[in-house]
Structure 1
Amino acid sequence: MSTERHQKGSQQWIEFSKLQKFSSLKHATFLKPSDFGDYANAGKEFEEQTHFCNQLLGSKELVFTKQVHSNAIYHVTPSSRLHLPEADAIITKERHVALGIRHADCQACILFDPVDKALAVIHCGWKGNVLNIYQSTIARLKKEFGSNPKNLIAVISPSLGPQASEFKNFKEEFPEDLWEFKNQSDHFNLWALAKKQLLDCGLLEDNIELAELCTLSAPKDFHSYRRNKTLCRHATIACLQ
């Protein structure tokens, strides 16, 4: 784990060391008190946060989707601008267009191809792990942009940690081939599962960075649906420069 914390006014966010070295990408995972939960009914506060994000990341616009725990992927092109399309991953080669994932407990992943200058952001809860949205997104990057998995840099946001990932009905929710990631009677290590899925796609271990910060266990910094059924959400956002 190697994240760096930043603050400007009331806004707090973290950045990942593996991405900070690239001038062709800007990124941030926003912490409390920021709340990106009600994007569909955005008000003044949300507009102010969006303005701050655009200034911070050098973006002209900020793209979100309606996340539905699927493996659907939205491709942002110069001509594609849908309002909240249903998708849990977004890909692009467009510069100065910020891609955002809203999350609380789920994993938000940034995939960056520094060679072919391509970008993906991914929302992955346990259903995304079961569907292997990481594999689907990497396959799409290869198809659309010719990305080589060995060149991809992957970072994963704070999310539900191994000691907090309880699934009482895991036999119905997880296929048996994923039970190797069960580290207690009904707890799963979703961090290890995500890393394994990325490695299986051909990413290099040195190119993968997990925050390894548990959202449920740190109420001062993180929203957590499991902790208090909140509708508040963080945002992990990335933008090609």
Structure 2
Amino acid sequence: MSEIFYPFNNDNKEIFIATSSKGLGIKASDITEDYRKKLEIEFFNKINLDIKKAIFMHQVHKDNIAKIDESNKDIYNKENPVKETDALITNLKNVPLIIQTADCLPVILYCKETKSMAAIHCSWRGIVQKIIPKTIESMKKEYNIDTRTTYAYIGAHIFEKDYEVGEEVAIHFRAKRIINGKWHVDNSMEAVLQMIDCGFMEENIEVSNLNSYNEIFYSYRRDGKQVGRILTVGMIL
């Protein structure tokens, strides 16, 4: 049975945030497209949301950002995701934005003053391309957010201890260290540093203690190529 996880510092009264899991007792390599769809439908049923109204992205590890508004909110869905996009911004209520991950960072931003949010898929390539700062700038332009009071949540992701990289990747990170002679980077800490650089207050940034490398989640680094993905949903209420 898969579990659902929620942030500790968000009460789900203004913005709803939830994260799915693979569950125990089944190998990621054994999960088929049909089984994945079954788990996703179960997840949405448990959180009382309609998967048909959720907006998915065709994520490509780049810095493309799309705005969801009244003109396009009914166009995109699971079968027709926003093409070649790794970040969505919106100020619409009751529109679930979905991030799919298997080690990368799922990042939700929410500004209480402007009632606007972002859903960001951030890999190490996204860190290098600064997709988070670029999304923040888009939110400033579109919604005039105040970064000093904006809440940020980084969901289940691979921890530094399990994320070995080559020097060609590590060179781009401030948050890194050598473990057993190999470079390891901390995507979540690097994201936090980028947010602080953009004016976020550290106390408004929540980093999940869920490591995607653990068996309950999907992990590309642990299992290699697979169809399974962790879903992180954000929705303004």
Please state which band the TM-score falls in when normalised by the shorter chain: 0.7 to 0.9
The corresponding residue for 1:65 is: 57
1:223 to 214, 218, 226: 218
The corresponding residue for 2:15 is: 25
Pairwise CA distance, 1:16: 0.6
Partner AA of 1:180 in structure 2: R
Pairwise CA distance, 1:101: 0.3
Contact 1:191-1:212 at 8 Å conserved across structures: no
Question: Which structure 2 residues correspond to residues 1-241 of structure 1 after superposition, within 5 A?
Answer: 10-20=1-11, 22-33=12-23, 46=37, 49-50=40-41, 52-53=43-44, 56=47, 58=49, 61-80=53-72, 81-82=75-76, 83-84=80-81, 85-168=83-166, 170-171=167-168, 173-174=169-170, 176=171, 178-184=172-178, 185-216=182-213, 218-219=214-215, 221-229=216-224, 230-241=226-237
Q: Which ranges in structure 1 are unaligned for 5 or more consecutive residues?
A: 1-9
Deviations 1:34-86 (A, max 9, x none): 99x9xxx9758626734752662556710001000011111111111242221
Structure 1 residues 55, 114: closer, same or farther in 2, change over 3 A?
farther
Pairwise CA distance, 1:17: 2.0
Structure 1 runs, 4 residues or longer, greater than 4 Å off: 41-45, 57-60
Q: Which ranges in structure 2 are unaligned for 5 or more consecutive residues?
A: none
Deviations 1:186-234 (A, max 9, x none): 1112222111011111111110010133222x11x11111111133111
Aligned equivalents of 1:146, 1:187: Cα separation in 2: 36
Give secondary structure in 2 for the equivalent of 1:186. Answer: strand
Pairwise CA distance, 1:181: 2.2
Give secondary structure in 2 for the equivalent of 1:139. Answer: helix
Partner AA of 2:222 in structure 1: R
Structure 1 residues 162, 52: closer, same or farther in 2, change over 3 A?
closer
TM-score (norm 1): 0.83
Structure 1 residues 233, 52: closer, same or farther in 2, change over 3 A?
closer
Aligned equivalents of 2:41, 2:227: Cα separation in 1: 18
Give secondary structure in 2 for the equivalent of 1:183. Answer: strand
Aligned equivalents of 1:183, 1:215: Cα separation in 2: 20
Structure 1 residues 142, 30: closer, same or farther in 2, change over 3 A?
same
Give secondary structure in 1 for the equivalent of 2:164. Answer: coil
Aligned equivalents of 1:67, 1:96: Cα separation in 2: 22
Partner AA of 1:136 in structure 2: K
Contact 1:57-1:239 at 8 Å conserved across structures: no
TM-score (norm 2): 0.84
Aligned equivalents of 2:199, 2:69: Cα separation in 1: 26
Deviations 1:113-135 (A, max 9, x none): 11111011110110011011110
Deviations 1:95-114 (A, max 9, x none): 11100000011010111111
The RMSD of aligned alpha carbons is 2.5
Give secondary structure in 2 for the equivalent of 1:13. Answer: coil
